[in-house]
Structure 1
Amino acid sequence: MSTKAKNSTSPNNSRSVQHLISRILVSGIIVLSILGCEQDNAITDLQTNTPIFDLDLFEQNIIDYINAGGDTPVGWAYTISKDGNLSRSNAFGKARTAADGTLNFTPQKEINVASVSKFYTAIAAMQLLEANNLTIEDKINTWLPDTWVKGPGVSELTFKDLLKHESGLQSTNTNFDTTLGYEGLQNCIQTGVVNSTTRNYLNVNFALFRVLIPSLWSNLEGSPAIDIENDANTQFMYLLYMQQHVFDPLSLPLVGCVPEDRETATLYYNVNNPNNGGNGQYYGSWNNKSGGGGYFMTTMEMAKVNAYFEHTEVLVSNEQKAIMKLHRLGMDTADPIDEIHGNYYSKAGSIGTSNDPTTSQGVQTQIVMFPFNGIDCVVVMNSQGVTLQGTISLRQMIYNAYNNAWVQP
């Protein structure tokens, strides 16, 4: 309508313009009326005491809850993002104590992210399943090395079974070099499905993707030559795919499963080590056992993956993301009791030298996404044995910090 008024040469042009202006003014009044109603509704919502999320309180809760037991981690850091934008970050303590040559911990300091690696591996797996016109319900059998002997039930295993830890495979979560190395994976497949196919958290389920991801990649036009019968080649190609298709798109160069130089790398402690002068643990290369763990990343880098996964389609399509969330692929299981503001999506990581909280040295990591109000969070610490407020679970502590950050207006 406005275009016709502008181009008209009719003697009634001025009258048409006046008419148009009148309509615009009327429309403006209607719009203002709608806005006024929305504002009234907002006031009404406030009057009904609807809780409001307090970002500052969430941050303070995290700090307070981690320090609640008086045995602060040797070194730790956190990030909080809102709608994909970094809002808060900080770090405390040491990456290396005086016994190992004092070095401060920072959000830019690399740490072994442990099983948070599974989340990144799941992203890559979903990319390749989509690229190969496959679904999580498809069988893994044809994507395994031809020379591997397939034990009972392997022919029926699906990608979903691995991604949900429901494979029924036989393995242990100890002696990773043996159980998660190439020969260990081969032996696991030969033993086959011998356990219940209910959820049983095993690193081998994701370590197998160190072979499956190169295998799926090799089927795509233009992919590099990949020999999945060769251990070194599967290691290299898994890491190469992850770099090119998970980290490079986010401008995160040189992300891998090899730590910084031994003299400057983050070390891993028990909270009691600074009191007794004990040395920290050093984690070497995880290339030979990667897939389910072993990436060395900064807290900031982890936050960036969260942001791009949750708020864009750079890593996976919205459809694939929905599937991952529905089945918690590469994520922790749901916790309906504590997920009181929509669904929470998280992944924990932990490596320790023993089950004794007073002596075990290791790392704890946690990522959490709260889609209800666009909050993403990362917390990492290079210590075990920390007393958290009301729980021994880092995930539970973050959930509590988030839930308790909703306040009455």
Structure 2
Amino acid sequence: MKPSTPVKLLAAVCFAASLSITSCKKGELIQLPLPIKSNDKVFKSAIFKQKLQEQLVGARGYQFVITHKGQVSDTAAFGIGSVNGDRSSVNAFVNIASVTKTLTAITALKYLDAFSIDNEIGPWLPSSWNRHADVRKLTFRQLLTHTSGIRGSGTSWSSLISTAGAKIDSPKTYAYSNINFALFRAMIPKLHDSITFRNQEYDLGTTAFQSWMSGEYIRLVQAYVISRSGIGQRGCAPVAGRTFQMLNEAPSRLNGVSHTDWTEFCGGGGFVLTTMDMSRVITYLAEKDIILSDNKKLLMDTYRLGWNRVFPVEGGMAYGHGGALYSDVNQSDSLDVGDVGLQTLIMKFPARVQLALSINSVDSTWRNTSGIVKAAFDAAWVKE
């Protein structure tokens, strides 16, 4: 730290040797030589960017946005986004995959005045569903922390209805399941307006009612998270001509698969945003109270509601959520060479630093995005 003006200290003790002062008197103001340097480290966005890029070598394309103290401090866009050679851009759309869970959690927490995170979810599920006692007794906290005992990844309406009516045999310990968050697609509309929800459930046929719930869920996430982040209308369907594909990586021959419409499957994944959109969401969440109050943000962090990446970094703790999608091109039932996919991540770090990251290709294994960003962030602190 370099003071911009001379520092004057009241000399109570004379340090003649170190300051080259031959004498001093009590109460005398002494002019100290400049600059005076501290041992404190400072965060450097340029180094953070460089370290991230060094660890993303090999991707067909990636995009990230770094914000610091509420402002965009750096961006990067490398490579391509489709087999047509579309150039990488932070303003192109991607399916943000499980980063959607953070948007879902934020929207659910908006209704905390009407429920506690330890309330049972039974009353908020559609009454027309067969709801097993094991599921009715689950709490919002158990869903938001993946400790419900629910297993599985399917998020279709048939999967949700089947899950709601089934006994839970697995232990209520942490086990990541998309269904935990997809169930909010049915509950958030009821939390918002239970009377309208009841009328729609009574008046509409099964398929129409499911589509209404899907639309209401998307509308409310838009209203409470996306619009309040200063972003225009978004949804869970690809934006024609502006959405990147999932790609494979070299040396395999370039291959890509386009995204499908997730409107009826959204909740645990599926929102389609740009990397810049993701940056705005995590920055507005961290820097302002327009999305969540400070108390609700503290609750979110304390219990990891909507976060699946929490780890220590230089200066404190980092909180975030990662996402991943892939298409099993060779039908091997696991990710391997030749498959196509993507990874996404939002993070908030100490020192008012936030990151949004998209990688629109995969190789034989998933990148350890938590390790990548932790190493890059820690290396970005230097002494001045």
Q: Same fold (TM over 0.5)?
A: yes
- Partner Cα separation in structure 2 for residue 282 and residue 219 of structure 1: 37
Structure 2 counterpart of 1:244: 223
Q: Equivalent residue of 2:315, what SS?
A: coil
Deviations 1:53-105 (A, max 9, x none): 222111110111112xxx2x1111010001121111121111113xxx22112
| Residue 104 of structure 1 pairs with residue 87 of structure 2 | yes
Using the TM superposition, give the Cα deviation of residue 288 of structure 1 relative to its aligned residue in structure 2, in angstroms. Answer: 1.1
Deviations 1:213-262 (A, max 9, x none): 01101138x9996539621111111111111222122331221100022x
Q: Equivalent residue of 1:191, what SS?
A: coil
Using the TM superposition, give the Cα deviation of residue 386 of structure 1 relative to its aligned residue in structure 2, in angstroms. Answer: 7.9
| Residue 268 of structure 1 pairs with residue 254 of structure 2 | no
- Partner Cα separation in structure 1 for residue 212 and residue 293 of structure 2: 29
Q: Which runs of 4+ in 1 moved over 3 A?
A: 31-34, 222-229, 275-278
| Residue 382 of structure 1 pairs with residue 357 of structure 2 | no
More helix by share: 1
Contact 1:166 1:198 in 2 (8 A): yes
Structure 2 counterpart of 1:197: 172
Using the TM superposition, give the Cα deviation of residue 340 of structure 1 relative to its aligned residue in structure 2, in angstroms. Answer: 4.0
Structure 1 counterpart of 2:339: 360
Q: Percent identity?
A: 26
Using the TM superposition, give the Cα deviation of residue 398 of structure 1 relative to its aligned residue in structure 2, in angstroms. Answer: 0.5
Contact 1:257 1:286 in 2 (8 A): yes
Using structure 2 for the length normalisation, give the TM-score.
Answer: 0.84
Structure 2 counterpart of 1:121: 104
Q: Equivalent residue of 2:165, what SS?
A: helix
More strand by share: 2
**AA partner of residue 157 (structure 2):** Y
Contact 1:152 1:194 in 2 (8 A): no
Contact 1:137 1:160 in 2 (8 A): yes
Contact 1:218 1:226 in 2 (8 A): no
Using the TM superposition, give the Cα deviation of residue 360 of structure 1 relative to its aligned residue in structure 2, in angstroms. Answer: 2.4
Find 1:304's aligned residue among 258, 270, 280: 280
- Partner Cα separation in structure 2 for residue 297 and residue 224 of structure 1: 31
Using structure 1 for the length normalisation, give the TM-score.
Answer: 0.79
Contact 1:96 1:103 in 2 (8 A): yes
Name the CA shift for 1:142/1:223 in 2 (closer, same or farther; >3 Å): closer
- Partner Cα separation in structure 2 for residue 93 and residue 149 of structure 1: 49
Find 1:342's aligned residue among 312, 316, 319: 316
Contact 1:169 1:192 in 2 (8 A): no
- Partner Cα separation in structure 2 for residue 219 and residue 32 of structure 1: 66
Unaligned runs of 5+ in 1: 1-30, 174-178
Unaligned runs of 5+ in 2: 1-6, 11-28, 329-333
Find 2:129's aligned residue among 144, 148, 151: 148
Mapping of residues 124-273 of structure 1, within 5 Å: 124-130=107-113, 132=114, 134-170=115-151, 172-173=152-153, 179-219=154-194, 226-227=200-201, 230-261=209-240, 264-272=242-250
| Residue 408 of structure 1 pairs with residue 383 of structure 2 | yes
- Partner Cα separation in structure 1 for residue 293 and residue 177 of structure 2: 27
Deviations 1:249-279 (A, max 9, x none): 2331221100022x5531111113xx55443
